[in-house]
A = this chain, B = another copy of it.
Amino acid sequence: MIKICTSAFEPYKEIEAYQIQQKKSLAGKQGAANVFVGTMRDFNEGEEVKGMTLEHYPGMTEKQLQHVLAEAAEQWPLLDSLVIHRVGDVFPDDVLVLVAVWSAHRGAAFDACRFIMEALKSKVPFWKKEILKDGECRWVDKNTDGYVG
C-alpha cells in the first residue's frame, strides 16, 4: 500500500493498523519484516535546520512508487509492502518516510526494503526545501547514495 500524508504520522502505529487488515493473508507465511523509518534531523550539511517543506508531484508520486514496489516484488519473493511519505511542512523529529516489507525470509526483506528506499530517493518526485536557523531557505540539491556510508 502507498500513502501520502499531509500531516504527522506515527510509523509504528501505522504498521500495527495495517497488519490488522493484512493478518489473514500473511498468516503462517511471514517469517520476516524489515522496516525503515526516516526522520527529520535538525542538521544537514553542517547547518542547523529549523524546518522543511516537502513538495511533490501528485499523481506521478504514486505512479513512481507503484513502479518501485512492482520492481521490488519482481526481484524478491515479497508477501506485502507498505510505503508512507510525508509532504508539506515538517519539523525536526517528524517522520518523513516509512517503508515496510514482509517476506518469508529475512534476506529478501532486508534487500527489498533497502532497494525501495534507494529507488524512492532517486526516482520518486519529492523535493525538500530547508529553512535554516536565520530564516533563509535552500533547496536540497541531491540525495546521497545510501549504499555507501
Q: In the complex, what residue of chain B is closest to A77 when comparing beta carbons?
A: B149
Q: How large is the interface on A (under 10, 10 to 19, 20 to 34, 35 or more residues)?
A: 35 or more
The answer to whether residues A106 and B36 also contact, given A12-B13, A12-B16 and a CB cut-off of 8 A, is yes
Q: Given the known inter-chain contacts A28-B41, A42-B28, please indicate yes or no for A110 contacting B148, CB distance below 8 A.
A: no
- A82 at interface (Cβ–Cβ under 8 A)? no
Whether B146 lies near A93 (C-beta < 8 A) is no
A124-149 vs B, Cβ < 8 Å mask (1 yes, 0 no):
00000000000000000000001111
Residues of B within 8 A of A146 (CB): 105-107, 110
State how many copies of this chain the complex holds. Answer: 2
Complexed CA–CA distance, A15 and B10 (Å): 12
Contact present for B36 and A34 (CB under 8 Å): yes
Knowing A12-B15, A16-B13, say if A107 contacts B148 (CB, 8 Å).
yes
Known: A29-B41, A105-B146, A107-B149. 12 other contacts (CB 8 A): A10-B16, A12-B15, A27-B42, A28-B41, A28-B43, A33-B35, A34-B35, A34-B36, A105-B149, A106-B117, A107-B147, A110-B113
Give me the interface of A with B, judged by CB distance under 8 Å.
10, 12-13, 15-16, 27-43, 92-93, 104-110, 113-114, 117, 146-149
